[in-house]
Every structure is written in structure tokens, then in C-alpha cells.
Homo-oligomer: A and B are copies of this chain.
Amino acid sequence: MTYCVGMRLDRGLVFMSDTRTNAGVDNISTFRKMFTFEEAGERFITILTAGNLATTQAVISMLEERTKAPAERSPSIMDAPSMFQVARLVGQTLREVIAANAETGQRADTAFNATLIVGGQIADSPPRLFMVYPEGNFIEAGEDTPYFQIGETKYGRPILVRAYEPDMSFEAAVKLLLVSFDSTIKANLSVGLPLDLQLYEADSCKQGLSRRIDAEDPYFQAISTGWGSALKRAFDSLPDITL
């Protein structure tokens, strides 16, 4: 499994992903699930991936190749005129990869499916955030649903629902995501450290702070142990029932 979150804030976009992949519980590996595409000052795009690793790696490779090989640059996400067109292109590529594998026949237990989060900004348009389905279609985050989760989404959802604010700072958003990821990691073996963090400042059209957070990271440790005690205090502060 996997856990990735893409979040829309007034200040920009925040992305976080774990790095654990597994085929069963006895075959785990570490792979990056966050990919960025930049033309500084003009566009910045982040893609988060969940699902079949062969599928997501093929999708990213195809997108990168289309980015790099000038002869094949159409359609390329570096040329697409809008984030909507970027999402469409990513969706088409995802659908193509899944279809190509499905033709050979499904022999493994697991499906070739994958789900992606695509977010970023192209100059002169506002930042946008999409979730792309295996079928290639997609939805966009708005004010009512300002973040998307993919992978193992349930454990980390209650704190997002309760603490997210659109006007929160990047610092608070990173804290919120770390709490959400820590809750998931504590409850589920298929999500694991290190985590990748990517910030994108609205209207900068270039890569913001990017950081890998591992188990030795002092801030992650402070959040992980601090959240346990803070949660206990919050719990104790609630009134007891009269039985």
C-alpha cells in the first residue's frame, strides 16, 4: 500500500508521500512516489502515485521521456497550456499503461491499477490540484474538498477532517500531514518512512522547499512522541460519562 496527500492552501500546495512498497508483507521495498516537473518561472508540477509500482513507474517514465525527447514533445506535460490539460495527459498515459498490461492478461493477484494526485501551477493561471483515476478521468480539489488522499487513506483522515484550515501556514500544514502520516504508520505496516515533502508557494511557478524526512528526523520524532501525549491530554480533558 501507500499513503500520499496533496493539499490546497491559500498560500499554495503541499504534498507528502511515503516510500514503502510491498508485494505481500514479506517483500517490502523503498521507492519514491513523488515526482516533480519544473520550468522555473513558467510551471511547476508535482505527481504523487499509489497503486501498482510497475504501472506508476511506467507512467512517470513516459511522462519524463515526453518531457525530455524533443521529437516526441507533443503531447508533453511541459507544453500543455493548462493544468487541466496536464491532468488529461497524465490520465491518458495512465489509462494507456494499464490497458497495455491488461492486454497481456492479468496473471498476478493484484490489479495493474494506480491512482495519482497531480498538482501545480502554470503561469497566469491559479494553482490547481487533481486526483486521477485508473480510467484516466479525474476530479479537481475545490473549497469543499481541498485535499486528496490516495492509498491507505482511512487512519489519517480524522485529523485532516478536524484540523485542516485553508488559511493555515506551511508550517502548520506540514505538522498536520506529519500527524496524519504518523497515525497511519503506527496502525499499518504497508505505509512506512522515509517521507517526501514538497511545498509549492502560490504564483512562484518554481519548486519550493523539498525535503526527505526519515525516522531520525528530530522534528518527526518530536511530532510522533508529542502527538501521543497531546492526544492523551486531549482525551483526558473531555468530561467523563456518568454511568
Interfacial residues, chain A to chain B (CB-CB below 8 A):
154-159, 161-163, 169-172, 174-176, 178-179, 183, 186-188, 199, 209, 219, 222-223, 226-228, 230-235, 237-243
A197–chain B nearest beta-carbon distance, Å? 9
- A154: contacting residue among B162, B171, B172, B187, CB under 8 A: B187
Indicate how many identical chains form the complex: 2
Complex Cα distance, B243 from A169, in Å, reads: 11
Complex Cα distance, B169 from A185, in Å, reads: 28
* Nearest neighbor of A226 in chain B, beta-carbon distance: B238
Q: Are B228 and A162 in contact (CB under 8 A)?
A: yes
Q: Are A238 and B227 in contact (CB under 8 A)?
A: yes
**A163 contacts across to B, CB distance below 8 A:** 231-232, 235
Q: Are B222 and A175 in contact (CB under 8 A)?
A: no
**A238 contacts across to B, CB distance below 8 A:** 175, 179, 222-223, 226-227, 230
